[in-house]
């Protein structure tokens, strides 16, 4: 996938510019960069990852591309408590499939969102993985899980083919 593909997966879930947003499990920042393009320079972003080198890499790229955007790079594990202000939105792109027991983590993630806050996930559309994608969940499974942990109005935003594990989907769920 390229940058345009990342933007296309997220764009229907981002209502406009501005706001407080986070990317949990942001890695080297491919989806953080797409989010930055969609929310614009008036937003504030929190990029959370447990890999410090990946955060430093994305910081260089985001500062070059969006020098006036306020981004906080947090070297943290998103499965642990993170002190953040209430967020308008949060993305998790290819990060939730690393969590085996998702319920508790999703309850905590839901708690980071403002009322009517948005959670956008990007995942492989399968229910069985491998050692690189250990715990994926199909869109159908995501709908059930999102409802179980208190999210509402879950809907499919976009799909993208992949030669690896069928394909990707992006979904939006509201707090």
Which CATH number does the domain housing residue 18 bear? Answer: 3.40.50.150
- Determine the 3-state secondary structure of 13 from DSSP: helix
Under a CB-based contact definition with an 8 Å cutoff, are residues 85 and 110 in contact?
A: no
Measure the CA–CA gap between 9 and 7, rounded to whole angstroms. Answer: 5
pTM of the model: 0.94
Question: What pLDDT does residue 128 have?
Answer: 81
Structure tokens at 123: 């995942």
Domain count, the chain: 1
Please report, in tens digits, the pLDDT of each residue of the chain (175 residues total).
899 999 999 999 999 999 999 999 999 999 999 999 999 999 999 999 999 999 999 999 999 999 999 999 999 999 998 999 999 999 999 998 878 889 889 999 999 999 999 999 999 888 887 888 888 899 999 999 999 999 999 999 999 887 776 788 999 999 9
Measure the CA–CA gap between 104 and 123, rounded to whole angstroms. Answer: 19
Full residue range of the structural domain in which residue 155 is found: 3-174
Measure the CA–CA gap between 61 and 32, rounded to whole angstroms. Answer: 10
Measure the CA–CA gap between 45 and 127, rounded to whole angstroms. Answer: 30
Measure the CA–CA gap between 80 and 147, rounded to whole angstroms. Answer: 22
Measure the CA–CA gap between 84 and 149, rounded to whole angstroms. Answer: 20
Question: What pLDDT does residue 64 have?
Answer: 95
Measure the CA–CA gap between 23 and 33, rounded to whole angstroms. Answer: 10
């Amino acid at each position: 996938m390229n940058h345009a593909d990342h933007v296309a997966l997220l764009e229907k879930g981002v209502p406009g510019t501005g706001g407080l947003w986070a990317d949990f499990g942001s890695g080297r920042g491919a989806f953080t960069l797409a989010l930055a393009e969609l929310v614009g320079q008036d937003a504030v972003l929190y990029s959370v990852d447990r890999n410090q080198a990946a955060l430093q890499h994305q910081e260089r790229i985001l500062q070059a591309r969006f020098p006036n955007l306020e981004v906080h790079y947090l070297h943290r594990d998103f499965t642990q408590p993170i002190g953040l202000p209430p967020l308008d939105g949060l993305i998790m792109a290819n990060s939730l499939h690393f969590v085996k027991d998702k319920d508790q983590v999703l309850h905590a993630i839901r708690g980071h969102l403002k009322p009517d806050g948005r959670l956008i996930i990007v995942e492989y559309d399968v229910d069985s993985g491998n050692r690189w994608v250990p715990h994926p969940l199909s869109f159908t499974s995501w709908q059930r899980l999102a409802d179980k942990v208190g999210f509402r109005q879950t809907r499919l935003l976009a799909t993208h083919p992949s030669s690896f594990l069928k394909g990707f989907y992006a979904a939006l769920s509201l707090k």
